Structure 1
Amino acid sequence: MMTHSLKMITALGTPLTAEEDLHSAGLEAQIRDQLAHGINGFLVAGTMGLMQLLKDSTCRQLVEQSVQFNAGHAELLVGVGDTSFVRTRERIRMVEDFAIDGIVVISPYFLKYSQSDLIDYFEALADLSTRPVFLYDLPQTTGTKLEVETVLQLAKHPNIRGIKCSDQFTTIRPVIDAVGEEFRVIVAQPNLMDVLLQAGVREHLDGIYIVVPEWIEAMVEATLAEDWNRLAQVQQDLSALLKLLTTFSAPLFSTVTTLMNLRGIPGNFAPQPMRPVTAAEREQLRAHPLVQKVLAGKPTSAVEA
């Protein structure tokens, strides 16, 4: 496990069976794969984990087994954000008795709320939660932006310990400049990791890490060695892979499923109604030079979802 000050948090995917129950073997294989490459944080049931698409019983089992398989090796955060105060409160109650390190609360979606409403919402949840609360800013999905002034106000709450920001880095930079180290700013900028690591941004999180933990490990090693050329090289591969995943003919989560299965990690990471990849698409992915690079040196045989 990493013992340095860099924090690499993987947003885990949720592997499912054909009946869309939790695929326990897939979850264990995924967590072990990440830990083997020095990942020192997990976000369970976040956007990559598609919490909102899962049965409540699957969510509970997901958290319980993630705690079991992680066994205290990495920091474990759990996504709980839903569409309203009472729905999010219920999710907090469902998970807070497990040995987790914090909960991550996305802005409520479906309806629009004012910044004042959002302050009341997050403060009320932080008051009742027995676990540290982390804000989650994802306006691309929720349609609601956590403004800088809102985040700085919420940062004063003793149980709101940080924010995971998936918006552009320029939107969170003023918060980094204004807050102390006790309020953590965790960025999701997979296309800018080399620049941000070189600039001293220490906490990073993304779902792409599930596919390429070796590359994330290499980026950490390059940063610690101040080998900026090596860091840039890995970043170029990572950005190219992100472009491939987001422009491929199949849905993103179905494409990720194929790559995870090729890594030897079973399960379906794309619940219905997302269609699976076709046989032709699977072969196209397998033959792609970037995917070959991802799979280089992997001794495990590919598995099917």
Structure 2
Amino acid sequence: MEVKGIITAMVTPFDENQRINADATRQLVNTLIHSGVSGLFILGTNGEFHLLTNDEKIAFAKIVIDEVNKRVPVYVGTGGNSTSEVLELSKKMEALGADVLSVITPYFLVPSQNEIIQHYKAIAEAVRIPIVLYNIPKNTGINLEPETVRQLAKIKNIIAIKDSSGKLENIEKYIQITKDEDFSVLSGSDSLILSALKIGAAGAIAATSNLITAIDVSIYENFLKGDMEKAEKAQQDIEVLRAVLKLGTVPSILKKAMEMIGIPVGPARLPVTEVKEETVKKIREMLDYYKV
């Protein structure tokens, strides 16, 4: 399958008791699809995968996959530290109907690049569906080196990488080293969507598209049309949201902003706490800028 376009790194809606909110999940899925995203990426960093049990992950994925009903691809995060645990969860998500798996590098421990290769090889051999590598070194303490990605890109069902390093040169190296493979490189840093597209990235997995979906989608669409002026304007517009997102722990600000425009995604899960009142004012100013 071809991985491209703006794929939303979707938040996980909770109710007031911090349980998964199925109705809000369905509402969000439909809102995003109607706004033109190319796919939904669930159980990533903004989806609070690290705070959910495996049973909750499976329950949430089932709601999303059923509601999407093949309208767009669903990318499901199954990464973790234990290879055997990732294998088990990946097989269950494949059985549920996930289109693609997203597998973050192990975190907390710092495996060698060779150990990482063996980890991904084992997962790729255990499932038939495609896999997207997920590189986010500031959170995991590990950077997927270009040579590692070159080797992994040769595995048939490892089809792409989401790079959230925040470094354009990292994206560029991945693009160069995999140019002879059927492999896509995606920006996981919303500030770099257009820059990444210009050097050959296939698209982006963007958290900001939960809220300002049309703006993110327009970067990609205007880039394809060659209207760089509109694409640049849309890229700059993201910065208003990104500046406010820095005022709280991920994904508390994003979820609060979505609540304030009528998408009832609930709070972030503890230990992340509710947004302070003075920050809510900043969020309101940001929403006013976008006229939402």
Q: TM-score under structure 1 normalisation? A: 0.89
1:55 to 1:280, Cα distance in 2 relative to 1, 3 A: same
Q: CA deviation at 1:5?
A: 8.9
* Pairing 1:183-202 to 2, within 5 Å after superposition: 183-202=183-202
The separation in 2 between residues aligned to 1:128 and 1:178, in whole angstroms, is 26
Aligned-residue offset at 1:137 = 1.0
1:254 to 252, 255, 259: 252
Give the Cα separation in 2 of the matches to 1:269 and 1:275.
Answer: 8
* CA distance 1:229–1:160, change in 2 (3 Å): same
Asked if the contact 1:40–1:73 (Cα under 8 Å) also holds between the matched residues in 2, the reply is no
Q: 1:242 maps to what in 2?
A: 242
Relative to structure 1, is the Cα distance of residues 81 and 41 closer, same or farther in structure 2, using a 3 angstrom cutoff? same
Q: What is aligned with 1:303?
A: none
1:244-290: CA deviation from partner (whole Å, max 9, x where unpaired) = 211x2x4342211211112211022510011102344324421x1x3
In the TM superposition, residue 232 of structure 1 has moved relative to its aligned partner by: 1.4
| Residues 148 and 172 in structure 1, CA contact (< 8 A), matched pair in contact too | no
2:6 corresponds to 1:12: no
CA distance in 1, matches of 2:152, 2:282: 47
**CA positional deviation for 1:28:** 1.2
Q: For residue 77 of structure 1, what is the amino acid of its counterpart?
A: Y
- CA shift for structure 1 position 170: 0.7
Whole-angstrom CA distance in 1 between matches of 2:221 and 2:144: 33
Residue 35 of structure 1 deviates from its aligned partner by: 0.9
Does structure 2 conserve the Cα–Cα contact (< 8 Å) formed by 1:270 and 1:276?
A: yes
Partner of 2:171: 172
Aligned-partner Cα distance in 2 for 1:159–1:232: 34
Aligned-partner residue type, residue 209 of structure 2 = Y
Give the secondary-structure state (helix, strand or coil) at the position aligned to 2:96: coil
Per the TM alignment, residue 174 of structure 1 is displaced from its structure 2 partner at its CA by 2.3
Structure 1 residue 161 displacement after superposition: 1.6
Gap change, CA 1:85 and 1:196, over 3 Å in 2 = closer
Name the SS for the 2:232 alignment partner: helix
The whole-number CA distance in structure 1 between the counterparts of 2:73 and 2:215 is 20
Q: Quick one: structure 1 residues 5 and 78, their matched pair in 2 at CA, closer, same or farther if it must change by over 3 Å?
A: closer
The yes-or-no answer on 1:223 pairing with 2:223 is yes
Q: Does residue 291 of structure 1 match 2:291?
A: no
Matches of 1:97 and 1:251, distance apart in 2: 33
**Matching residue's letter, 1:109:** Y
3-state DSSP of counterpart to 1:236: helix
Which residue matches 1:270? 268
How far is 1:175 from its partner?
2.5
**Contact 2:3–2:160 (Cα < 8 Å) also in 1:** no
- Greater mean deviation of Cα atoms: 169-178 or 7-16: 169-178
Quote the offset at 1:94 in angstroms: 2.5
Structure 2 CA distance for partners of 1:135 and 1:221, relative to 1, 3 Å:
closer
Alpha-carbon distance in structure 2 between the residues aligned to 1:194 and 1:97? 35
- In the alignment, which residue of structure 2 is the partner of 1:91? 89
The residue number in structure 2 matching 1:206 is 206
**CA–CA distance in 2 between the matches of 1:188 and 1:51?**
16
Could you list the structure 1 runs, at least 4 aligned residues long, displaced by more than 4 angstroms after superposition. none
Aligned to 1:137: 135
Deviates further, 89-98 or 34-43? 89-98
Give the residue type in structure 2 aligned to 1:111.
L
Instruction: Give the match's secondary structure for 1:135.
Output: strand
Q: Counterpart of 1:291 in structure 2: which amino acid?
A: L
Gaps of at least 5 residues in structure 2 are none
Whether the 8 Å CA contact 1:13–1:269 is kept in 2: the answer is no
* Mapped contact 2:75–2:98 kept (Cα < 8 A): yes
Q: Match for residue 32 of structure 1?
A: 30
SS in 1 for 2:251: helix
Q: C-alpha displacement at 1:6, in angstroms?
A: 5.0
**Deviation (angstroms), 1:107:** 0.8
Code of the residue aligned with 2:169 in structure 1: it is: T
Change (3 A) 1:44 1:252: closer
Q: Secondary structure at the match of 1:161?
A: strand
Q: Distance in 1 between matches of 2:4 and 2:118?
A: 32
Paired with 2:200 and 2:176, the residues of 1 have a C-alpha distance of 12
| Cα displacement (A) at 1:142 | 0.6
Aligned residues: CA RMSD: 1.9
CA distance in 1, matches of 2:28, 2:211: 9
